[in-house]
Structure 1
Amino acid sequence: MTAPIRVLLVDDQHLIRLGFRLVLDAEPDIEVIGEAADGRDAISETARLDPDVILMDVRMPVMDGITATERIVATHPGVRILILTTFDLDEYAFAALRAGASGFLLKDAQRAELVGAVRAVHGGDAALAPRVTRRLIELVGPGAVPATPLPGSDALTDRERDVFRAIADGRTNSEIARDLFLSESTVKTHVGRVLTKIGARDRVHAVILAHRHGMTDTR
């Protein structure tokens, strides 16, 4: 039997944590293993509990979610962080994505969205709406800074390079499969190989790397 996805809830509002706990604990493949009310407690609870996924609020007392995300990603690179926000174009949330979060989730998300997002980031996918991905791309583009070679990109096959550029453009696996005339399972395999070769944590990190290093169709 597959081990459940172990989740840590981080939010300064008790009722928010309670609501998420009730939804997630009802799923057979997800287990809420702890809670924290600020970023500092999130760091200590991460070290103590070693969760798979963290639901992280951005604006909290003592230490904000951006700082906590950056520190957790640096010390626990295997942990996936989902940012909790009230607005889907919140600049604070984008800062947390740049700090290493794997996606973000609106606090009023429906049950299926919440559960799906937790499973997606745990599986190495990104939990981002298309317009959010586009906004992220705008924020992390290379601008006037000369692009530098991306370590590992020379090991990509032609097909993997096509998939990488599609990821950088914010396309989903189903969209990549359609555009490249591949099955979704084949796309998923290519995505995994791309992330491994370029040393990306997940798709969000891959988008950031692609645009920082000019690995896009619009470069």
Structure 2
Amino acid sequence: MVSSVNASESIISVLVAESCAMSCELMAAALERNGSGLAVVASATDTSEVINSYVTAAPDICIVGANLKDGVSSGFKATRELRSQSSDARVILLLDVEQPQTVVDAFRAGAVGVFSREEPFEVLCKSILKVHEGQFWIINRQIQYLVDSLKDSPPAITDAKGTQLLTKREQGLVHLVAEGRTNKEISRELNLSEHTVRNYLFRIFNKLGTSNRLELALYAINHGQTMREGTGDRS
């Protein structure tokens, strides 16, 4: 279902995906009343509609509920499929209840923002604006969820074919970054100078297309595979 609002009349075009048409209409009306220059150009209620609507409407931002009409947690599936078809798709996942694992799963699915329905609606509008500017939308407690996840299961960062992108040393450094270590602490842990640690970080950022520690953690969550015995033997 496509709303009557013309995308050319607004700064930011939005696709809304919820579990039913009424929820889509209510969300669309609320977004457009907000006055933040948002135009809902398409809506969807299941995974296939999300993909088709994205291709047809080419929205700037996709707001996807965690549970669509095609099942519990189908919003995560829709996000994964959307991101696999278009790496430019910018998805904010709406969680009914925010739990550490669901936040991690949302970013792992490819979301660039996670929003809990327990938060004020104005914050959702703000998150859309920030994501449209090219930023991630993640609050402090969610960052901690990601850090804890990386501590528990340090990822082996791979490409689509499963090839490891980082050396064993670089992988170890990512693990320490995920633990929240400073450059000075990492230099002591690895017996390296701080200058060398910075060089390693810049090299990792360049390899992965990230620019800071938060983006690195999100990349690791999104592209990582849990390290198993023997993983990361490259020097």
- In structure 2, the CA distance between the partners of 1:115 and 1:28, relative to structure 1 (3 Å rule), is closer
- Pair 1:24-2:31 in alignment: yes
1:54 equivalent in structure 2: 62
Mapped pair 1:33 → 2:41 = yes
Distance 1:82 1:91, change over 3 A: same
Structure label with greater radius of gyration: 2
Residue 130 (1) aligns with residue 140 (2): yes
* Deviation, structure 1 residue 89: 1.4
TM-score by length of 1: 0.66
Q: Distance in 2 between matches of 1:22 and 1:4?
A: 16
Whole-angstrom distance in 2 between the partners of 1:8 and 1:204: 26
CA-based RMSD: 3.7
Q: Which residue of 1 aligns with 2:129?
A: 119
* CA–CA distance in structure 2, aligned partners of residues 54 and 201 of structure 1: 24
Aligned length: 178
Q: TM-score, normalised by structure 2?
A: 0.62
Is 1:199 matched up with 2:209? Answer: yes
Q: Is the 8 A contact 1:4 1:29 kept in 2?
A: yes
For the pair 1:105 / 2:115, whether they are aligned, the reply is yes
**Rounded Cα–Cα distance in structure 2 between residues aligned with 1:196 and 1:110:** 37
| SS of equivalent to 2:123 | helix
Structure 2 CA distance for aligned equivalents of residues 145 and 127 of structure 1: 22
* 1:12 matches 2:19: yes
Quote the offset at 1:46 in angstroms. Answer: 0.8
Q: Hey, what's the Cα distance between the residues in 1 that align with 2:42 and 2:12?
A: 12
What amino acid is aligned across from residue 15 of structure 2 in structure 1? Answer: L
- In 2, the alpha carbon distance for the partners of 1:92 and 1:115 equals 21
3-state DSSP class of the match of 2:94? strand
1:149 offset after TM fit, Å?
5.6
- Aligned-partner Cα distance in 2 for 1:142–1:111: 33
Seen in structure 2, the aligned counterparts of structure 1 residues 197 and 3 have a Cα distance that, compared at 3 Å, is farther
Partner of 1:191: none
